[in-house]
Chain A
Amino acid sequence: MSERTKIDARGAYCPGPLMELIAGLKLINVGDEIEVLSSDKGSANDIPEWVKKVHHEMVGITQQDGYWSIVVRKAK
């Protein structure tokens, strides 16, 4: 069963949500997931764009109250 790690990157200007995701993916096993919380609306675009480039899997994006929840599965 896959595990899910949460990264709360709300209000994180540097290194920012995508960099946190990239670093976080290095620490989990293939098949496990990371949920990134981001208050930067750009994350809703740049995270899926990068995930597609490197062939991981987007599990979902949901807009919450003032932030986005973005779930990615490590595919390789």
Chain B
Amino acid sequence: MAKRILIVGGGLAGTIVANGLCRQLREDLSAGSVVINMIGATDKHLYQPGLLYLPFGRARESELFRDQRKVLDRRVPYFIDPAKHIDVDKQVVTTQSGKAHSYDYLVIATGSRIRPDNIPGMTEGAHWFYDLDGARKMRDALAAFQGGRIVVNVNAPHKCPVAPLEIVFMLREHLAAKGLLDKSEITYTYPIGRLHALEPVANWTVPEFQKYGIKSETFFNTKSVDAKAKTITSEEGSTLEYDLLVTIPPHTGQQVILDSNLGAGGWVPTVRNTLLREGSQNVFVVGDTTNIPISKAGSTAHFEADTIIDNISSLIKEDRWAREYDGKVFCFVETGLNSGTYVWFNYTTPPNPGPPSQMIHWFKLAYNRLYWLSARGLL
């Protein structure tokens, strides 16, 4: 009987896993001894990091989307029928339409979602760029902005850890280009006692903020937003006034994880080196869905996916484990509209960002195109 691999989630992580498995198991797929299925929520694949550029008119909406079936290997049937319940004991996933998918190996790649609604007033009072609708509204708000106080507010947990800094630097250059810098001030808030979770990045940011006159407030965890008064208040007792509030909303995992009792907050408890769900030997977790205490980022999903591809392939072909995930994360950091740097680290190697350059910015722009090769598992 064919080994059945089921991938739940059609984002970057699930798609890389599917395409990589097709390459490594091509003979088994041809022989019919392996079957790979994917279930997801939409027929479109979104390049999420591209949303950062949308409010500034530096990306077209059409550039950010591809047909998921064209990104996915044609040997993988793709069902647009979101998972409703995952039963890891009976090894079956039930979808919203009522269809039941049994599996031998399960890959949970359901990702994360923004939850501005978890903070009173945030939905009404804030803008964000972490989804298409939010990025569109922020684009309109920026177009109408004639100067004033901008607060860039960061909440935990959130994905893409450097995006909050990138949006600050890009906002500053945007204001300068529009001649609004003299009439504006930017204040950046962050949940912990420094400007970024990564200490070297935080240390690098301090003089950059000083150079550009960007204000900051640390130990700021949002309690509420008053959309009428245009104020934002922290759990620590601080209140800031704003004319434009740009927030990185708090995230949670997906509802199906909660409904299936697979993890608090929608994050699945996952063994950090094997990427197996805790307590399971045939359930892998990849990308934002894990509860592993590392960055929720596309590169994390990519490096985790590569590990899972090797291990599922090896288990099926050779009945043995291939390798472990070392916690690798790589992030480009846009330090303006024309310069960038990067940072990488893993479980044992601390990050050490280099000086920004235009060349690295160009690499980032190139990667915005190369992403589609990455999703196809070719990069």
Contacts and interface: CB of A to CB of B under 8 A. Distances in A.
Check if A and B associate: yes
Interface of A: 5, 7-9, 11-20, 22-23, 26-28, 42, 46, 49-50, 53-54
Contacts of A22: 156, 191-192, 221
B236 A14 contact: no
Q: Which 5 A-B pairs have the closest CB atoms?
A: A12-B293, A23-B157, A15-B197, A11-B347, A9-B293
B351 A14 contact: yes
Nearest to A50: B219
A interface majority secondary structure: mixed
B193 A49 contact: yes
Given A7-B293, A14-B161, A14-B351, A27 B264 contact: yes
Contacts of A17: 293
B41 to A, nearest CB: 24
Contacts of B295: 14-15
A51 B157 CA distance: 17
B250 interface: yes
28 contacts: A7-B293, A8-B272, A8-B293, A11-B347, A12-B293, A13-B197, A14-B198, A14-B329, A14-B351, A15-B161, A15-B294, A16-B192, A16-B197, A17-B293, A18-B192, A19-B156, A20-B293, A23-B265, A26-B118, A26-B265, A27-B264, A28-B264, A50-B219, A53-B219, A53-B236, A53-B237, A54-B221, A54-B236
A76 B329 CA distance: 34
Interface residues of B, number: 29
Interface majority SS (helix, strand, loop, mixed), chain B: loop
Contact of B250 (A9, A26, A46, A50): A26
A5 B293 CA distance: 14
A32 B272 CA distance: 25
Interface in B113-172: 118, 156-157, 161
A19 B191 contact: yes
Interface string B184-214: 0000000111000111000000000000000
Contact of A13 (B198, B221, B265): B198
A66 to B, nearest CB: 13
Contacts of A46: 192-193
A20 B197 CA distance: 10
B235 A15 contact: no
B345 A13 contact: yes
B156 A23 contact: yes
A14 B157 contact: no
Given A22-B156, A23-B157, A26-B250, A14 B294 contact: yes
A8 B269 CA distance: 11
Given A12-B294, A19-B157, A46-B192, 10 more contacts: A13-B294, A14-B198, A14-B295, A15-B161, A15-B197, A16-B197, A23-B156, A26-B250, A50-B192, A54-B236
Contacts of B198: 13-14, 16
A38 B329 CA distance: 19
B265 A27 contact: yes
Contacts of A42: 199
Interface string B322-358: 0000010100000000000000010110110000000
Give the residue among A7, A22, A42 with the most B Cβ atoms within 10 A. Answer: A22
A35 B272 CA distance: 18
Nearest to B154: A19
Contacts of A5: 264
A49 B348 CA distance: 26
Contacts of A53: 219, 236-237
Contacts of A28: 264
A11 B197 contact: no
Contacts of B161: 14-15
A56 B236 CA distance: 11
Nearest to A13: B345
A54 B348 CA distance: 31
Which of B156, B198, B272, B329 has the most chain A CB within a 10 Å cutoff?
A: B156
Contacts of B221: 22, 54
